[in-house]
Amino acid sequence: MSQGETAAVVKADAYGLGADRVAPALAEAGARTFFVAAAEEGVEVRAVLGPGPNICVFSGHMPGDTDLIRDAQLTPMINSIDQMLMHVEALPGHAFGIQLDSGMNRLGMEEAEWSALRDIALAQNPFLVMSHLACADDPDHPMNSYQLNTFRAMTDGIDAPRSLSATGGILLGADYHFDMTRPGVGIYGGMPFVDARPVVRLELPVIQTRDVLPGETVGYSNTWKAETPTRVATLASGYADGIIRAMGDGAYLWAGETRCKVLGRISMDMTAVDVTHVSGAPDSLELLGQHQSVDTAADWAGTIGYEILTSLGHRYDRVYLNA
Amino acid sequence: MSQGETAAVVKADAYGLGADRVAPALAEAGARTFFVAAAEEGVEVRAVLGPGPNICVFSGHMPGDTDLIRDAQLTPMINSIDQMLMHVEALPGHAFGIQLDSGMNRLGMEEAEWSALRDIALAQNPFLVMSHLACADDPDHPMNSYQLNTFRAMTDGIDAPRSLSATGGILLGADYHFDMTRPGVGIYGGMPFVDARPVVRLELPVIQTRDVLPGETVGYSNTWKAETPTRVATLASGYADGIIRAMGDGAYLWAGETRCKVLGRISMDMTAVDVTHVSGAPDSLELLGQHQSVDTAADWAGTIGYEILTSLGHRYDRVYLNA
């Protein structure tokens, strides 16, 4: 069985966790190829990684990217004939990859474009020929084998290395691995990798606590009213910090081993929480950690764990622990 | 009729728009007092404004804030007796304000605390005595007059300047204005100030366009399927850029005067849009601007315009226009 390379996806500031700290840690762990969404991100990752690692850009070679791609030695994943022409005219001989559309209709060349370009492109030794799965989070979805077969039909027999799968596709099995895999959310502790360990812990400081009597309301628009005497803590974080407002009062935080309900509307900079059953006055409460994951928080907001991560705010004091 | 001072709320990075650019523009327009949520934000605003303007901190004087408050000459809005003790012990003689709770049960002293502290606090000439309205967006809500009366009962007769209202309260009329008002979202073009002009325009670049045939699907989980031949543009922004995922396919963008529907799921870094009826190949599409406001986008996401603003991402190329 051949060994494939495991690349690391560090786009969107490493899924909100700080590419300047995450990318070097992944390089230290052995990653040699990194993926970002846009050339500007690639420049930032190159600045922290230095020369050597491959930094691939999913959006390819867009107008205005040429200087960034050349100066930071980025490898654009070319998505169209237009991009291919721009790339070879602006940066002849500069590394590139090819992105194919195998059915998601989001990025990459369609079969007709690829047929027209294939021989010319392959003669220039692309770094990678890749595609992306639309439904890999659902192992039983027929789209997975459809895209696998389409990708094979478009690429079987070529010499260039191939890549199809991110986290979800990796879990579909070896048929989906090809020469390189590109895990993203699986690195960052989110579904669909059920065995992923949480990588982020989020504690929100308490500004003050108060006792609220039955009939009193808490927060904007009076949406929560006390029915019994309640001790309320006001936390110093709100939706501007990525405590997505849609979580509303379905969300919980933890004070030690005590689960505490969010009360009323989440404000821009503050969140009210029921700490009636907490002994003592807590200095902070935990939103993400061992008690609940980004996927739990995502359920409250009607979204996916990825958006919880990428929404993490910039006002937090971020502490990085070395494994 | 007495003239009150109009302060400017620039917390949460000036509602996502960049406090480093917005605060100086507001100072240039005449603002002399600024409000932030946390001391760390106050330090950043002081750095761009220089000495002179008042920078008030809603969260008051929290543990760890002392050096920031002293060095950046911030004015904490003291929320509790605990904070008052911390402030006068750590920084005797340093300016402060008082925040009272008039019914929102989020920040500020309760009546009992205020009664105990009032004479001592007022003897030290607080910069401001303030409270905040919970339901000011709804002019008919009985909470407004309840909080007005509560605030008056707590503060009538004092010498210190008083403040009760942010944007919504300002619109409730002169009774709510007192000595200082604190507009936030009304400065930034959002409801409830219906006459606010949009202050942000958001254009998303197109990575590539493709023709999709009936039966083909677009994006994650195949949630959108073409029923007729459709031209699809893939935009280089997604929920990591604040195109809130919950907008889903209820959202629209504009190519010139043509309205274009979002297709399928919003990805982390990309959004697919129907550009079938757009003549030519658009380089970019407009999400926010003259055609639709932050409040329109908020409706699609089931939230409020404030969260659209504070979610605006950090990968955008931001261009500031002088009025």
Do residues B208 and B176 both lie within one domain? no
In this structure, the answer to whether residues B126 and B241 fall within a common structural domain is: no
| pLDDT for the residue A78 | 98
- Structure letter (DSSP) for residue A91: S
Residue A91, chain B, CB below 8 Å: the answer is no
Chain A neighbors of B106, CB-CB under 8 A: 218-219, 234, 267, 270, 272
Asked whether the beta carbons of residue A218 and residue B106 sit closer than 8 angstroms, the reply is: yes
Nearest CB neighbour to B303, from listed A103, A137, A245 = A245
Q: How far is Cα A118 from Cα B274, in angstroms, rounded to an integer?
A: 28
Interchain CB contacts (distance < 8 Å): A and B: 193
- State the pLDDT at residue A185: 95
Chain A residues touching B267 at Cβ < 8 A: 106
Query: What stretches of A156-197 show up as alpha helix (H) in DSSP?
Result: 167-171
* Alpha-carbon gap: B71 to the closest alpha carbon of chain A (Å): 19
B192, part of any domain: no
Where among A122, A152, A181 does a domain terminate? Answer: A181
- pLDDT, residue A33, reads 98
Paired residues of A6 in beta bridges: A181
DSSP state of A250: G
- Among B11, B15, B239, B252, the one annotated catalytic: B11
Domain of residue B285, CATH code: 2.40.37.10
Residue A239 sits at the chain B interface (C-beta within 8 Å): yes
A315 lies in some domain: no
Q: Which of B251, B290, B291 has the alpha carbon at shortest distance from B274? A: B251
Is B318's Cβ below 8 Å from some Cβ in A? no
Contact in structure between A17 and A29 (CB atoms under 8 Å): no
Torsion of CA B226, B231, B237, B238, to 10 degrees: 0
pLDDT in tens, chain A (323 residues): 457 999 999 999 999 999 999 999 999 999 999 999 999 999 999 999 999 999 999 999 999 999 999 999 999 999 999 999 999 999 999 999 999 999 999 999 999 999 999 999 999 999 999 999 999 999 999 999 999 999 999 999 999 999 999 999 999 999 999 999 999 999 998 888 888 888 999 999 999 999 999 999 999 999 999 999 999 999 999 999 999 999 987 999 999 999 999 999 999 999 999 999 999 889 999 999 989 999 999 999 999 999 999 999 999 999 999 75
* Among A107, A138, A236, beta carbon nearest to B234: A107
- Of B11, B15, B9, B5, whose CA–CA distance to B199 is shortest? B15
Query: Nearest-CA neighbor of B207 among A43, A96, A77, A168?
Result: A77
**Is residue B202 within a helix (H) or strand (E), and if so which, with residue range?**
strand B202-212
| Ranges of H-type helices in B50-200 | 66-71, 81-90, 111-122, 142-155, 167-171
Judge contact between B241 and B316, C-beta under 8 A: yes
| Pair B167, B214 in one domain | no
Same domain, A221 and A120: no
Pairing of strands B217-218, B224-225: antiparallel
Calpha distance B84→B105 (Å, rounded): 18
Neighbours of B152 (CB within 10 A): 15
What pLDDT is recorded for position A323? 55
Q: Quick check: is B130 in a domain?
A: yes
Taking each helix axis from N to C end, the angle separating B142-155 and B111-122, rounded to the nearest 10 degrees, works out to: 40
Whether B268 sits inside 8 A of A60 (CB atoms) is: no
In this prediction, residue A2 carries a pLDDT of 54
Bridge partner list, A209: A233
Helices (H), chain A: 11-15, 19-28, 39-49, 66-71, 81-90, 111-122, 142-155, 167-171, 294-301, 305-310
Which of A15, A106, A283 lies closest to B234 in CB terms? A106
Residue B193 lies in a domain: no
Query: Quick check: is B303 in a domain?
Result: yes
Are B219 and A11 within 8 A, CB to CB? no
**CB < 8 Å to B283, chain A:** 63
Inside any domain, residue A322: no
pLDDT given at position B194: 85
CA-nearest of A254, A240, A241 to A289 is A254
Clarify whether residues B81 and B176 are in a common domain: yes
Please answer whether residues A298 and A262 qualify as being in contact, where contact means their C-beta atoms are separated by less than 8 angstroms: no
Residues 6+ apart with CB under 8 A from A257: none
Angstrom distance (rounded) from CA A150 to CA A280: 61
Which of B207, B303, B316, B319 is best to mutate for the A interface (most A CBs within 10 A)? B207
B130 with B163: CB under 8 angstroms?
yes
A11 to B240: CB separation less than 8 angstroms, yes or no: yes
**Per-residue model confidence as pLDDT tens for chain B (323 residues):** 457 999 999 999 999 999 999 999 999 999 999 999 999 999 999 999 999 999 999 999 999 999 999 999 999 999 999 999 999 999 999 999 999 999 999 999 999 999 999 999 999 999 999 999 999 999 999 999 999 999 999 999 999 999 999 999 999 999 999 999 999 999 998 888 888 888 999 999 999 999 999 999 999 999 999 999 999 999 999 999 999 999 987 999 999 999 999 999 999 999 999 999 999 889 999 999 989 999 999 999 999 999 999 999 999 999 999 75
Is residue B43 domain-resident?
A: yes
Handedness of CA A321, A189, B302, B219 (dihedral sign): positive
Give the distance, in angstroms, between the CA of residue A125 and the centroid of all CA atoms in the same chain: 30
- Among B residues 161-190, those touching chain A with beta carbons less than 8 Å apart: none
* CB neighbours of residue A316 within 10 Å: 14
Q: Assess whether B220 and B158 both reside in one domain.
A: no
Q: Which of B41, B25, B77 is nearest to B56 (CA)?
A: B77
Mutate: best of A65, A207, A273, A314, partner B, most B CBs <10 A: A207
Statement to judge: residues B219 and B154 lie in one domain = no
Q: Is B60 left (phi over 0), alpha (psi -120 to 50) or beta?
A: left
| A117 contacts chain B (CB < 8 A) | no
| A301 and A265 within one domain | yes
| Residue pointed to by tokens 């009992």 | B112
pLDDT for res B323: 55
A222–B307: do the CB atoms touch at under 8 Å? no
Q: Of B181, B213, B237, which residue is a domain's last?
A: B181
User: Per residue in B179-203, is it b (16+ CB within 10 Å) or e — as a string?
Assistant: bbbbbbbbbbbbbbbeebebbbebb
Instruction: Assess whether A258 and A167 both reside in one domain.
Output: no
* Chain B residue whose CA is closest to A231: B105
What is the per-residue pLDDT for A192?
A: 87
Residue A1 distance to chain B (closest CA, Å): 31
A199 close to B (CB below 8 A): no
- Residue B143 and residue A205: Cβ atoms within 8 Å? no
Chain B residues with beta carbon closer than 8 angstroms to that of A234: 106-107
- Establish if B76 touches chain A: CB-CB under 8 angstroms: no
Range of the domain at A274: 202-310
Q: What is the CATH number for B163?
A: 3.20.20.10
pLDDT tens profile A49-78? 999 999 999 999 999 999 999 999 999 999
Positive or negative torsion for Cα A44, A46, A47, A48: positive
Which member of B11, B141, B307 has the closest CB to residue A239? B307
* Number of compact structural domains in chain B: 2
**CA closest to A81 among chain B residues:** B208
Q: Which residues of B touch A216 (CB under 8 A)?
A: 103, 105
Tell me if B59 and A269 make a contact (CB, 8 A cut-off). yes
Domain end among B181, B211, B242: B181
Q: Is A193 within a domain?
A: no
Q: What is the pLDDT of residue B2?
A: 54
- Could you tell me if A16 lies within 8 Å of chain B, comparing CB atoms? yes
* DSSP result, B219-265: SGGG-EE-SS-EEEEEES--GGGT--GGGGGG-EEEETTEEEEB-S-
Shared-domain flag, residues A30 and A164 = yes
Q: Which residues contact B139 (CB under 8 A, 6 or more apart)?
A: B171, B172
Quick one: A118 and A211 in the same domain?
Answer: no
Same domain, yes or no: B118 and B177: yes
pLDDT per residue over A163-182, tens digit each? 999 999 999 999 999 999 99
Measured between CB atoms, which of A13, A105, A208 is closest to B232? A105
Closest residue to B222, CB basis, from A13, A107, A143: A143
**A311 reaches B (C-beta below 8 A):** yes
